[in-house]
Amino acid sequence: MAGPHLHTYLHLHLCLYLLTWIAVIPVLLVTSLNVSNSLKNEEKYKNLNIPNMEGKKLFFNEIKLNNRFKNNMKGFIQNVQNFHYIIENKIPNSLLYVQEDLINFHNSQFIGDIEVGTPSQKFKVVFDTGSSNFVVPSIKCVTGGCASHKKFDSDMSKTFAKHLKSNKESIYTYIQYGTGRSILEQGYDDVRLKGLKIKNQSIGLAIEESLHPFSELPFDGIVGLGFSDPDYSFQKKYAMPLIETIKKQNLLKRNIFSFYVPKKLDESGSITFGKANSKYAVEGKQIEWFPVVSIYFWEVNLLDIQLFDRELRICNNKKCRAAIDTGSSLVIGKNKVK
């Protein structure tokens, strides 16, 4: 989830396989973060009975986002094979790739367009590898963080449907981000990203958002590009992440996506689904691939942080883990360095 503005001025080309590997262009910055426990998913789920404005009881699933990973290597490898297996589609109608330029907002957020529903309703979104939910404001949300943003009118879409419990009541989800919170009404609808059409994508319609930080942000919604939690069946059934829907529907020749984060303030960012976009590769350098070391996040093992020519030796010859979070403007690590 996007945080406060911080001009990191990094020239970073990040390639993320939809299901197992991460690549970065070398030479620019060696980073290593001990990611804070508040980052994303210590999945503590509750069904909450909270009265709404009409006095009815709502069904909630609570998602708290903190970092987790498995330390058992044999079990980890098996989990990776089970949940993040890369395939190359042989489907003739699958696309080679789609690419979208991203608005550069002070080198802190990179914002693109996505269309939801039939007929389509367009939203400005952040593509966030640090979360998994697809979130846009609902027309029912009129106060707090929703007030200044475009809202989705589900009644105007002939392809929208709600996710319902067995008793036909709506399903709601509470999400606590690193900063901010949302209450979502779960549904599904068709989504368009350039030439890519994703049918029946799970969508969380925000019926309530905290004033901070959402009211101050220059985008409407968040498209989570993280994984669903394999320990939690609710997410697979009612809130499947976009990347898993794309894979399930065989929409791309290769299940891969890549980010380009520019160094210059006046340069656009980019996201490409279907390939690592060589247009942004550093001349004379090859892409290096690093295994993802978590089944929950885009997390890699790194050696150290280098600040200009100085190696900070934060890892002390031990493995450090870093989560690659495109929805955050912060580089977070230990509060003390040598």
* pLDDT value of residue 219: 96
* pLDDT value of residue 235: 67
**Which of helix, strand or coil describes residue 208?**
strand
* pLDDT value of residue 89: 47
Distance of alpha carbon 327 from its chain centroid, rounded? 7
CB-based contacts of 305, cutoff 8 Å, min separation 6: 30, 31, 32, 33, 311, 312, 314, 333, 337
DSSP secondary structure letter of residue 279: G
Question: Is 309 one of the annotated active-site residues of the chain?
Answer: no
* pLDDT value of residue 88: 42
Query: Which residues of the chain form beta strands (DSSP E)?
Result: 12-17, 21-24, 47-51, 57-64, 98-105, 109-116, 121-128, 134-137, 161-162, 172-176, 181-193, 196-209, 221-224, 256-261, 269-273, 288-291, 299-302, 306-307, 310-311, 320-323
In whole angstroms, what is the distance from residue 65 CA to residue 32 CA? 21
* pLDDT value of residue 91: 52
In whole angstroms, what is the distance from residue 198 CA to residue 250 CA? 10
3-state helix, strand, coil in the chain (%, to 5): 10, 35, 50
* pLDDT value of residue 29: 26
In whole angstroms, what is the distance from residue 173 CA to residue 45 CA? 10
Per-run averaged pLDDT (10 residues), the chain, 338 residues: 36 42 32 30 36 42 41 54 45 76 93 97 96 95 92 98 91 86 95 94 96 92 90 74 94 92 91 88 81 90 85 79 88 73
Options 113, 128, 220, 304, the catalytic residue: 128
Options 189, 220, 229, 325, the catalytic residue: 325
* pLDDT value of residue 1: 53
- Rounded to two decimals, the pTM is 0.74
CATH superfamily entry for domain 12-323:
Acid Proteases (2.40.70.10)
Strand 269-273 vs strand 256-261: parallel, antiparallel, or unpaired? antiparallel
Give residue 249's identity as a one-letter amino acid code.
Answer: Q
Question: Is 155 one of the annotated active-site residues of the chain?
Answer: no
* pLDDT value of residue 72: 52
Hey, CA dihedral for 306, 178, 220, 190, is it positive or negative?
positive
Query: Is-contact 244 225, C-beta < 8 A?
Result: no
Tokens at residue 122, please? Answer: 């367009």
In whole angstroms, what is the distance from residue 271 CA to residue 37 CA? 28
User: Residue 158's CB: how many other CB atoms inside 10 A?
Assistant: 10
C-alpha distances (whole Å) from 8 to each of 11, 189, 328, 331 are: 9, 36, 11, 8
Query: H helices within the chain, ranges in order?
Result: 73-83, 211-214, 233-238, 242-248
Query: Which residues of 180-326 form beta strands (DSSP E)?
Result: 181-193, 196-209, 221-224, 256-261, 269-273, 288-291, 299-302, 306-307, 310-311, 320-323
* pLDDT value of residue 153: 98
* pLDDT value of residue 20: 38
